[in-house]
Amino acid sequence: MGSSIDPHILERLAAAEAKVRIVSASAESETERGEIRNHLNVCLKQWHTSLDEVLRRFLKMNFFKETLETIKRSALPAFKPVEAMTLRSVQKSFSADRGSEQRCKDFCLLLRFGTDLEAVLEGERPLTRAAKDGHTKAVGLLLRNGANGNSKNEAGESALLIALKKGEEGEQMALRLCSEESVNVVVTDPATTYTGLHLCTTVSVAERLVARGADVNAISERGASAHPKCTPISFAAHRGLLPLVRFLLNNGADVNKKAAELHESALQIALSRSKWEVARCLLVEGRANVNGTTSTKNTVLHVAATSPDAELVREIIEAEGGSLLLKKTNNNGYSALHSVSAMGVGSREVAEVLVKAGVDVDLQDKNGRTALMHACMKRFERVAEYLVETTPMCSLKGRINATDTKRNTGLMLAAQQGSVRIVSLLLQKGANAAAENDAGLKAKDFASAPEILQLLP
DSSP string, 102-143: HHHHHHHHHHHH-B-TT--BTTB-HHHHHHHTT-HHHHHHHH
Phi, psi of 321 (to 5 degrees): 80, 0
Express each pLDDT in 174-211 by its tens digit. Answer: 999 999 999 999 999 998 899 999 999 999 999 999 99
358: left (phi over 0), alpha (psi -120 to 50) or beta: left
Long-range contacts of range 450-457, CB-CB < 8 Å, 24 or more positions apart?
A: 451/420, 452/415, 452/418, 452/420, 452/423, 455/420, 455/423, 455/424, 455/427, 456/415, 456/423, 456/427, 457/433
| 234 closest CA partner among 278, 168, 190, 299 | 278
DSSP state of 409: B
Task: Specify the pLDDT at position 75.
Answer: 45
Question: Do 298 and 326 contact (CB within 8 A), yes or no?
Answer: no
Task: Specify the pLDDT at position 62.
Answer: 44
Q: CA 357 from chain center: how many Å?
A: 36
The arithmetic mean of pLDDT across residues 231-238, rounded, is 93
Task: Specify the pLDDT at position 76.
Answer: 45
194-289 in CATH: which number? Answer: 1.25.40.20
For the chain, domain boundaries: 9-78, 194-289
The arithmetic mean of pLDDT across residues 102-111, rounded, is 86
Lowest mean pLDDT among 61-65, 162-166, 241-245, 278-282: 61-65
